[in-house]
Amino acid sequence: MTMLNNIKDKLQGKESPHHTLFVVMLVFGIIGLIASFVLSVEEVLLLKNPDAVLSCSINLVLNCGEVMKTGQATAFGFPNMFIGLMGFPVVIMIALLGLSRVAFPRWFAIGMELGILFWTGFAYWLFFNSVYVIQILCPWCLIVTFSMTMLLAASTYYTIRRNTFELPGNVIAPLKKFLDKGYYQLIIASWFVLMIALVILKFGDGLFA
């Protein structure tokens, strides 16, 4: 019966309510993978020639090469971008399975949410280190951070809609209502505006020097 309903929905042009979420995951999984690949290539170039001028080394503020030389760039004992080379293909696979209407078991959805949450937290740890400790920004790293934020937004939306964590009715009902009113998207947009404001306040004209 479920298969017949799926076929009927396709014939009528109806999409799964989670279709857009998996499209978002696919798009930003690919973007994150591209950024990680470019960073990996430039890391190799830098290892071969410490004086190499990288494509993402734009000025004194936007300079991947200088960020790669810091301890934060090898937080786990190896270049951080290698994590992206391993992780983003997993995200892409999940997105493709979701677009294929695979019903993820609860344990898988929980693992997806917690995994994306952890690595998004790591991305922001690097972001705030770049802004306030290293005081140099890596453009490709910013793209990875943006991608992780969008992945977390999509994953969290999915887990709330499905009530993956089996929250009680008096908790999940207001959360779903919050989503229905579009406040979730407003929070995400406001968050990006805040992060951009922090960068501009910190570096000012140096971003464009």
Instruction: Give the pLDDT means over successive 10-residue stretches in the chain (209 positions).
Output: 42 56 97 97 91 87 93 95 97 96 93 98 98 96 98 96 95 94 94 97 92
CA dihedral 18, 102, 171, 182 (to 10 degrees): -10
Residues 6+ apart with CB under 8 A from 127: 141, 142, 145, 195
What is the Cα–Cα distance from 29 to 48, expressed in whole angstroms? 29
pLDDT value, residue 34 = 98
The reported pTM is: 0.90
Q: In CATH, what is the architecture of 17-208? A: Up-down Bundle (1.20)
**Domain range annotation of the chain:** 17-208
